[in-house]
Amino acid sequence: MKKVLVPALTVLLVLILGVVGYILNSGPTPGEAGSEAADDCDVSAYTMGVKWQQQSAEAMALQGQTYELASRQLDKAVAAAPKGEDLAIMSDLDETAIDNSKLLARDIAKCHDFSGWDTWDDWEKNGEPTLIPGAMEFFKHADELGVDIYYVSDRTEDNHAANVAALQKLGLPQADDEHVMLLGPPKDERRAKVESDHTLLMQLGDTLHDFDGAFADASIDEQRKLVEDNSAKFGSEWIILPNPTYGDWSEAELDEWDAPVRTDD
C-alpha cells in the first residue's frame, strides 16, 4: 500500500506545482497590471481634460490670447482710472496663473481621484507648478504700470510660506506675504479687503466664483443665468481662462442627441 501511495502523491504534487506555475507566469506583467488598473479605475474619465490642458497647442494659444486681451484691457482701465488712486488687480492662481497638471496627471497614473484634494497639501509644499502661457508677461506689465497685484487663491494658509516661495521661484512680481491671500476668509471677503483701499480694475480666474460669490452655491443653470446677467464684465473687468480638468460642471449630465447611432458601414 505504501509503495503505491508514494508515487501517487508525487504525481499529484508535480501537477499542483505545474498549475500554480502556469497561473503565475501567464498573468500580466507588473507594467501591464498597472496599465489595466489605470484603464479600469474611476479617474480615467479625467484623462482627456488633463491631456488637453497640458499637451494641446490649442490650450497654449487660448491662454496666451486671453492674457494678451487682458493686457490691452488693463491699459484702457489704467488710462481711464482717476488720478491719484491706488489701482489693483486680483488673480486666482491655480489653472489661472500657474499650471498644476503634473499633479493631476500623476494622480491619474496612480488611479487616485485628485478631486478629493488630499494630495494637494504635498503638492503645495513640494510640487513643481509651471506658469500658464502669457501669465508672466501680463503680470510684469501690470507691475510696470504701477498696479498692485493680489494673488487670491484657495490654497491653504497653513502652507503660506511654501506657496509664496513657489511663486517667487517662478518669478511672479509682487509675490510676497502682503499680496498673496490664501484660504481662510471667503474670496468675497478677501476681495472686499483689496477694494477697501484700492480701485479694483480687473479680476482673473478659471472658475466663476473667482469673480463673484454669487456663483459659489449656484446650480449650473443659475450660473448660466448669472453669466448672461454679467456678460458685459467678461473680457474687460473679468478675465476667465479655460480649465477642463475640474469644476462644478464635472458632475453635470450631458445633453445628448435623441437619435439612434448610424454608422457609415
Flag whether 8 is in a domain: no
pLDDT average, residue stretch 68-72: 98
Q: Residue 191's domain is classified under what CATH number?
A: 3.40.50.1000
Cell (9 digits) for 182: 490664501
Does 175 have pLDDT greater than 60? Answer: yes
For residue 113, tell me if it sits in a domain.
yes
Give yes or no for residue 1 having a pLDDT over 80: no
Cβ atoms of 43 and 108 closer than 8 Å: yes
Q: How far is CA 70 from the centre of its chain?
A: 20
Within a domain: residue 52? Answer: yes
Predicted confidence band of residue 40 (pLDDT cuts 50, 70, 90): low
Domain presence at residue 216: yes
Whether residue 193 is contained in a domain is answered as yes
pLDDT tens digits for range 211-223: 999 999 999 999 9
CB 205 within 8 A of CB 233: no
162 located within any domain: yes
- Structural domain includes residue 30: no
Rounded to two decimals, the pTM is 0.84
Determine the structural domain holding residue 225 and report its residue range: 42-246
Instruction: Give the chain's domain count.
Output: 1
Mean pLDDT over 225-232 rounds to: 98
pLDDT band with cut points at 50, 70 and 90 for residue 209: very high
Using an 8 Å Cβ cutoff, are 194 and 150 in contact? Answer: yes
pLDDT band at 42 (very low <50, low <70, confident <90, very high): confident
- Higher pLDDT: 14 or 170? It is 170
Residue 28, domain member (yes or no): no
Query: Is a pLDDT exceeding 80 seen at residue 207?
Result: yes
- For residue 244 the three cell numbers come to 477642463
Q: How far apart are alpha carbons 53 and 85 in whole angstroms?
A: 38
